[in-house]
Amino acid sequence: MNNLKDLHIEKELLPLFDYSLNMFAKKKIAAILNRPLQSTEAIIERQNILKGFSANQRILKHYSYTVLYVNEVHFFLLNEKIEDLSQKKLKYRLFASKQEKIGYISKFNQLILFFHRLESKYFTRLNLENFPEVYRSNIKEILAFFSNFELGKHEYIVREKQLKDTHVIALTEKINELRSNGSVLSFWENFFEFEAYLSINTSILRNNFTFPILTKKKIQLTDFYHPLIENPVKNNFEALSNVIVLNGPNMSGKSTFLKAVGLCIYFGHLGIGIPATMGAIPFFNHFSIEINRRDDILNGYSHFMTEIVNLKTVVKHASSGKRCFAIFDELFSGTNLEDAFEICKTTINGLSKFENSLFLISTHIQELKSVSNEHISNYYIDCELIENKPTFTYKLKKGWSDIKVGRILFEKEGLNELLK
């Protein structure tokens, strides 16, 4: 099971991609964001689906309807009791109450006008050749469902206020037929998935996200950034090593950098665009992102023990052949410095043996600078001292930072004098 809590998918990522018009499509978006795809083929397939939406942007740019309609038509088709009136035509014509007849006419008016707008204004105008073949069939199923209602004919009748008993009887028969063969449920599944993809693609276009290519090992991100930060600093990152040790002083932006890389990798595995001008990423099938460390109150674990358990889980997955992507923010800072150095050194060297995985580890432990082999690379977030004042650039550089901001800030606040 993936460890994705620190991505805050529902709270932070869903709003980024949610341009949906109803709660059903929103749930579909959330489901997509929670399930990384399990093969490169599936990733490329979804990328191509979303590219199909971009290619049809001229038609879909102003996609809209009255939101109340979708809720009421959805309930009417799926949940409301609709008798097959073809079995009792005469009884309905002669004995059905005026209220019952008005109810049916009102519901069918709403259904026909709603579906006619979707069919005529959007779905029949799509260029289906822009979509991959598998997804093209989903849109064709939506169109086939619309065709059951002869919407062009019935829309004219509704506009002229001429929907009669014969029309109502035929429509109830059709709906019961569609319910019995599963077409109604299948239609809504396809329809809300369509709207979820449309919403995600709207976000990709508005944020100028780009689709990454998939590599065997190399990771390369150009002008990437954290999409939830206003006026973010963009960085470039390129590595062949499978263990990246990130260092730098407090407040330099290490956690933000880790989150930005994590989002690029994770979005790439959802088959959606990433916040970068260019991306090349390896394929992974297990994710563990630990950025905001916390006590596990339910299990009674301290910060340190939570890290131990999480690391063990990742190592087990990597040992079983999984391609793991894992982030460890300030690994083992919850224990004493001597212990932290020894077990961090063992961890870094041990993880470097899993060449098909990628591990990002941030640390304040200066002694780890000496831990090195061909599978380990060191990076730091730059900080400059200007008139003995730390100035954060938030730019990534290769190597190791020796700046000790803590002592400077301690002195600047006058604590040395106050604590004498």
The β-bridge relationship of strands 278-282 and 219-224 is antiparallel
Predicted pLDDT at 105: 92
pTM of full prediction above 0.95: no
Q: Which amino acid is at 207?
A: N
Predicted pLDDT at 350: 96
Predicted pLDDT at 293: 60
- What is the Rg, in whole angstroms, of the alpha carbon atoms belonging to the chain? 28
Domain boundaries, the chain: 5-207, 213-418
Residue 126's φ and ψ, nearest 5 degrees, are -65, 140
Predicted pLDDT at 391: 76
Q: Which CATH class is domain 5-207?
A: mainly alpha
The percent of the chain in helix, strand and coil, each rounded to the nearest 5, is 55, 15, 30
Burial code (b: 16+ CB inside 10 Å, e: under 16) for 200-237 equals bbbbbeeeebbbbebeeeebbbeebbbbbeeebbbbeb
How many Cβ atoms from other residues are within 10 Å of residue 58's Cβ? Answer: 9
The β-bridge relationship of strands 235-239 and 219-224 is antiparallel
Instruction: Collect the ranges in the chain with pLDDT lower than 50.
Output: none
Strand runs labelled E in 126-225: 213-215, 219-224
CB-hemisphere CA count at 13 Å for 79? 5
Predicted pLDDT at 136: 97
Predicted pLDDT at 246: 94
Q: Which CATH architecture has domain 213-418?
A: 3-Layer(aba) Sandwich (3.40)
Predicted pLDDT at 91: 87
